[in-house]
Amino acid sequence: MSRLRWLLYRAPNWPGRQRKRPPANTPSAPEVICLSVPIWVWVATVVGLTGIIVADLAIVGRHPRAVSIKEASGWAGFYVLLAGLFAVGVWLLGGAESGTQFIAGYVTEYSLSVDNLFVFVLILSRFAVPDIYQHKVLFIGIALSLAMRGVCIAAGAAAIAAFSWTFYIFGALLLYTAVRLVLDKDEEAPDYNDTRMVRLLRRVVPTSDAYDGSRMTTRVNGRLLLTPMVIVVSVIAVANVVFALDSIPAVFGLTSDAYIVFTANAFALMGLRQLYFLVGGLLDRLVYLSYGLAVILAFIGVKLVLEALEGSGVGTIEGVHLPHIGTAVSLGVIVVTLALTAAASLLRERLGSNA
């Protein structure tokens, strides 16, 4: 048992440490630790992340400009470095298992975010957002979605702790999403400028027809109106929460620790804006990305179902022993799948250009 785990379980005054043991021979869900760290660690983490977001927003809003590849590379590297340092801290304080879980969750969330960038490209182009304001729109939208994802993660952790069948639902959802990723790959993208939410916002909220720089409000003939910037930010935030319907269960499939799930999501999302400007022009080259992500989601879905069966006391089916998939194996599968997907995509492009 790691030093952090030992301290947490030995400290009688910390809330959330006392847990009732189920009666003997009673099926139970896989162990879920919704409060794996003290409250002050949660508060310090949220305050630290908020400070980074506020500082980043201040830098972004100071000089509106189109983001260059060089600048995007620097910021993307900075956020990856932050995630790496955090992973080291989790590893040292929480043990190798917790550190590996965070890395696996972060890599999974980050890889799924790449697929989400296709949608961001469509949203920004359909709403004709000027290049110099795109980084601010993305930043605010992603920051809002992070707050909403926090609520989703808390709800998911509570559901797993209360109901043993939640893992079955998460597993089925991931398997369904994996199938849809493959089947819907060639479908025409929806018009995000004409969704029900956008039409409702335009009907209920007084909105101007044109942008006014990066402002959220403007005055037209003395009347205070919201600019289309508010609608774009809202669409991006909601889209990010919709993406969470598969990404959050995917991370829960790697760890039941709500703290690790939240921080993995937070670090992946904070680097998403820079990733958009860095690889936005390369997305069309990753032709097999959907297939790779489908494999990852299907793998984690199966892992969730196996863990749920194990927690229910089912170790064999028709004489076949059900394997236990550890975090290290999961991380290896995720990394190898992403590497093969990228290599196959680039190889196809090279063969196509030589044809």
CA–CA separation, 267 and 293 (whole Å):
19
Contact 139, 281 (CB under 8 A): no
Contact 304, 249 (CB under 8 A): yes
Token digits for 90?
């989790």
Residue 137 CB neighbour total at 10 angstroms: 23
What lies within 8 Å, CB to CB, of 80 at 6+ separation is 271
CA–CA separation, 286 and 253 (whole Å):
26
Token digits for 62?
């100071």
State the sign of the Cα–Cα–Cα–Cα dihedral 283, 288, 292, 297.
positive
What lies within 8 Å, CB to CB, of 6 at 6+ separation is none
* Look-up of token digits 């089912």: 314
Q: Specify the pLDDT at position 128.
A: 78
pTM confidence score: 0.70
pLDDT tens digits, the chain, 355 residues: what are they? 333 333 333 333 333 333 344 444 444 444 444 446 788 888 999 999 888 888 877 776 666 666 677 777 888 888 899 999 999 999 998 888 889 999 999 988 888 777 667 677 777 777 778 877 777 787 777 788 788 888 888 887 777 777 667 778 878 888 888 888 778 765 555 555 556 666 676 777 777 777 777 778 888 887 888 888 888 888 888 777 777 777 788 888 888 888 999 999 899 888 877 777 776 656 667 778 788 888 888 888 888 888 778 777 777 887 778 888 887 888 888 889 888 988 888 888 777 666 5
Q: Specify the pLDDT at position 249.
A: 82
Contact 108, 296 (CB under 8 A): yes
CA–CA separation, 163 and 308 (whole Å):
11
Q: Specify the pLDDT at position 63.
A: 65
Q: Specify the pLDDT at position 342.
A: 83
Q: Specify the pLDDT at position 256.
A: 82
Q: Specify the pLDDT at position 35.
A: 42
CA–CA separation, 249 and 173 (whole Å):
8
How many CA atoms within 13 Å lie on the side-chain side of 285? 12
Token digits for 282?
């390369």
Element (H, E) at 226: strand 223-226
Token digits for 117?
């960038």
First to last CA, the chain: 57
CA–CA separation, 179 and 161 (whole Å):
28
